[in-house]
Chain A
Amino acid sequence: MKDNNMDIVYDVKGLNLWYGDNQALKDINMKIEKNKITAIIGPSGCGKSTFVKTLNRMIENVDGVRTSGEILYYGDDIFTNKLKVEELRTRVGMVFQKPNPFPKSIYENVVYGPKIHGIKDKKLLMKITEESLRGAALWDEVKDRLNENAYSLSGGQQQRLCIARSMAVNPEVILMDEPTSALDPVATMKIEELMEDLKKDYTVVIVTHNMQQAARISDKTAFFLNGELIEFDVTSKIFGTPKDQRTEDYITGRFG
Chain B
Amino acid sequence: MKNNEIRDLIQHNIKNKSHFSDKAMPLFFLTMALISVLTTFGIVYTLVVDAFKFFANVPLSEVFSTRLQPLSANPSFGILPLLNGTILTTIIAMIVAVPVGMAAAIYLSQFASKKLRKMLKPILEILAGIPTIVYGFFAYSVVTPILMTLIPSLEPKNVLSPGLVMGIMIIPMVASLSEDAMNAVPSIMKDGATGLGSTKLETTFKVVIPAAISGIMSSIVLAISRAIGETMIVTIASGSSKRFTFDITQSMQTMTSYIVEFTSGDAGSGTVGYYSLYAVGLILFIFTLTMNLIAQYITKKYGERY
What residues of chain A have their CB less than 8 Å away from a CB belonging to chain B? 84, 86-87, 90-91, 113-114, 117-119, 124, 128, 131, 169-172, 201
User: Contact at A90–B3, with CB atoms within 8 Å?
Assistant: no
Q: List 16 A-B contacts (CB under 8 A).
A: A84-B14, A87-B14, A90-B10, A90-B11, A114-B6, A117-B14, A117-B17, A119-B13, A124-B6, A128-B6, A170-B3, A170-B4, A172-B7, A201-B1, A201-B3, A201-B4
CB-defined contacts of A87 to chain B, threshold 8 Å: 11, 14-15
Nearest A residue to B13, CB-CB:
A118
Add 14 more A-B contacts to A117-B14, A117-B17, A201-B1 (CB < 8 A): A86-B14, A113-B10, A114-B10, A117-B13, A118-B13, A119-B6, A119-B13, A131-B3, A170-B3, A170-B4, A170-B7, A170-B10, A201-B3, A201-B4
CB-defined contacts of A201 to chain B, threshold 8 Å: 1, 3-4
Report how many residues on chain B are interfacial, defined by Cβ distance under 8 Å.
12
Interface 1/0 per residue, B232-252 and A, CB below 8 Å: 000000000000000000000
Interface residues of B in 1-32 (CB under 8 A from A): 1, 3-4, 6-7, 9-11, 13-15, 17
Nearest A residue to B16, CB-CB:
A118
User: Contact at A119–B14, with CB atoms within 8 Å?
Assistant: no
Assembly CA distance A169 to B17 (angstroms)? 15
Expressed in whole angstroms, the minimum distance between the Cβ of A78 and any Cβ of chain B is: 15
Expressed in whole angstroms, the minimum distance between the Cβ of A201 and any Cβ of chain B is: 5
Assembly CA distance A108 to B10 (angstroms)? 17
CB-defined contacts of A84 to chain B, threshold 8 Å: 14
CB-defined contacts of B6 to chain A, threshold 8 Å: 114, 119, 124, 128, 170
Expressed in whole angstroms, the minimum distance between the Cβ of B187 and any Cβ of chain A is: 11
Assembly CA distance A128 to B6 (angstroms)? 8
The 10 closest A-B pairs by CB, nearest first: A170-B7, A118-B13, A117-B10, A170-B6, A117-B13, A87-B14, A201-B3, A90-B14, A169-B10, A117-B14
Interface of B, helix, strand, loop or mixed by DSSP? helix
CB-defined contacts of A113 to chain B, threshold 8 Å: 10
Question: Which of the residues A91, A114, A124, A131 comes within 8 Å of B11, measured between beta carbons?
Answer: A91
Nearest B residue to A201, CB-CB:
B3
Expressed in whole angstroms, the minimum distance between the Cβ of B220 and any Cβ of chain A is: 29
Assembly CA distance A117 to B7 (angstroms)? 11
CB-defined contacts of A128 to chain B, threshold 8 Å: 6
Nearest B residue to A86, CB-CB:
B14
CB-defined contacts of B15 to chain A, threshold 8 Å: 87
Nearest A residue to B3, CB-CB:
A201
Assembly CA distance A117 to B13 (angstroms)? 6
Assembly CA distance A87 to B12 (angstroms)? 10
Assembly CA distance A128 to B3 (angstroms)? 9
Assembly CA distance A119 to B11 (angstroms)? 11
CB-defined contacts of A114 to chain B, threshold 8 Å: 6, 10
CB-defined contacts of B17 to chain A, threshold 8 Å: 117-118
Assembly CA distance A117 to B16 (angstroms)? 10
Of the candidates A114, A170, A171, A201, the one having the most CB atoms from chain B within 10 angstroms of its own CB is A170
CB-defined contacts of B10 to chain A, threshold 8 Å: 90, 113-114, 117-119, 169-170
Interface 1/0 per residue, B105-127 and A, CB below 8 Å: 00000000000000000000000
Assembly CA distance A91 to B15 (angstroms)? 12
CB-defined contacts of A171 to chain B, threshold 8 Å: 7
Nearest B residue to A118, CB-CB:
B13
Nearest B residue to A131, CB-CB:
B3
CB-defined contacts of A172 to chain B, threshold 8 Å: 7
Nearest B residue to A167, CB-CB:
B3
Assembly CA distance A169 to B3 (angstroms)? 10
Expressed in whole angstroms, the minimum distance between the Cβ of B201 and any Cβ of chain A is: 27
CB-defined contacts of B7 to chain A, threshold 8 Å: 170-172
Of the candidates B6, B7, B13, the one having the most CB atoms from chain A within 10 angstroms of its own CB is B6
CB-defined contacts of B3 to chain A, threshold 8 Å: 131, 170, 201
CB-defined contacts of B11 to chain A, threshold 8 Å: 87, 90-91
Expressed in whole angstroms, the minimum distance between the Cβ of B23 and any Cβ of chain A is: 12
Nearest B residue to A89, CB-CB:
B14
Assembly CA distance A201 to B6 (angstroms)? 12
CB-defined contacts of B14 to chain A, threshold 8 Å: 84, 86-87, 90, 117
Assembly CA distance A113 to B9 (angstroms)? 13
Expressed in whole angstroms, the minimum distance between the Cβ of A249 and any Cβ of chain B is: 34
Expressed in whole angstroms, the minimum distance between the Cβ of A195 and any Cβ of chain B is: 16
CB-defined contacts of A86 to chain B, threshold 8 Å: 14
Expressed in whole angstroms, the minimum distance between the Cβ of A103 and any Cβ of chain B is: 13
Assembly CA distance A117 to B11 (angstroms)? 8
Expressed in whole angstroms, the minimum distance between the Cβ of A172 and any Cβ of chain B is: 7
Interface residues of B in 208-248 (CB under 8 A from A): none
Of the candidates A84, A117, A131, A172, the one having the most CB atoms from chain B within 10 angstroms of its own CB is A117
Assembly CA distance A190 to B6 (angstroms)? 24
